[in-house]
Amino acid sequence: MSPRRKMQTRYRRFSRITDIGGIKSAIGEMRGLGYPKQPVLDKGARARGSDSSFDEQWFVDTIKDKIATHPDNSMEFPFYGERVFDEPLVAFVRGNDPIFDDLKRIIGPHHLTPAEIMAWQADNNGVSAPPAEDLSVVSFVMPITGKTKDENASQPEWLSERWAQTRMHGELFSQIFVREIVTHLMSEGVLAVSPDVTPKMRKMRYPNVGWASPWSHRHIAYAAGLGTFGMHDFLITQKGCGHRLGSFVVNLRLEPNRKRPDDIHAYCLQYQGKKCMKCAERCPVDAIITEDAHDKEGCYQRVAKSVEYCNKNYHMFIYGCALCATGVPCESQIPAPLLKNVPA
């Protein structure tokens, strides 16, 4: 995927038609179209005696290095050069973890397992699909910078400009650097796939759950022990809920490095009986209520309207909100009273 051209000294003009990166990203997210071809597996790499060692530390170091040094981890005008993300959290979950069958039941049969998406990639390359026990999912949390979170927390109605840029550049940057990692692994003979840049990735309204995708980074991150869900449906992690998430699947046996709580709401004050509802107070359309938690359809309708706002005010073809994830106790950490719920 080609890096999005950063505007250094001015805004885009007529962003509804000139913001090609934003338009392509939206089409890809909603229709699974416009992504570059998948990297090709070098079937002879391992036979030639490649000495690359892709262990857990390699993935942690590589992802941290990408986020620390990659030129695409940056904003455009009027914040050109500012970083989008701070140092990430990285965790692993095995491909045969029973939780993936649970997600089929809880989210719906449309949600892919690691084995299913890897079978698709294997078929693309004319090789046998590896069994689930030989797969791992690499999941990561990319914390949004404090300046961006503070700016969004000051907004009463619509997302801030830095947050809009993070929503755009963060998504594209994540896809870019994961594709670089996947391409490198494939060149070394290791089958790998990034589900959210494949034709399989289509957001749709599904029965029972409403708007959803066939590969949920949030649920994968929970599976890997990186966090639990709040009233707002964001994942509350060690670095809070002001973040972007990503994940990809590899044909390697990586050891899980975190334990996930049994309680999927272990880090949410309200769910743990400690009156909060700060996220509900932040929601401009009252889509978070005590009785029914998160009204996804009401949230979606509000987010859809933000496209016009972002084009008019920020000259970007993007949508977003996340007011409920900023200016709240879980914005940048697990609330202190709930740290006891973190598995040892």
Q: pTM here?
A: 0.93
Q: Are 135 and 251 in contact (CB under 8 A)?
A: yes
| DSSP class per residue in 268-314 | -TTTTT----HHHHH-TT--EETTTEE-HHHHHHHHHHHHHHHHHHH
Over 80: is that where the pLDDT of 207 sits? no
Tens of pLDDT, residue by residue over 142-172, are 999 999 999 999 999 999 999 999 999 999 9
Q: Are 192 and 248 in contact (CB under 8 A)?
A: yes
Residue 45's closest CA among 215, 188, 148?
188
Residue 289's closest CA among 331, 209, 231?
231
- Say which amino acid occupies 202: R
How far from 4 is each of 1, 165, 186, 227, 247, CA to CA, in Å?
9, 12, 24, 30, 21
Tens of pLDDT, residue by residue over 230-278, are 999 999 999 999 999 999 999 999 999 999 999 999 999 999 999 999 9
Question: In this structure, is the dihedral angle defined by the CA atoms of residues 188, 194, 197 and 198, taken in order, positive or negative?
Answer: positive
Quick one: which H or E segment has residue 176? helix 171-187
Q: How confident is the model at residue 206 (pLDDT cuts 50, 70, 90)?
A: low
- Distance, in Å, from the CA atom of 212 to the CA atom of 229, rounded to the nearest integer, reads 16
Tally DSSP H helices, then E strands, for the chain: 11, 10
- Domain boundary assignment for the chain: 15-339
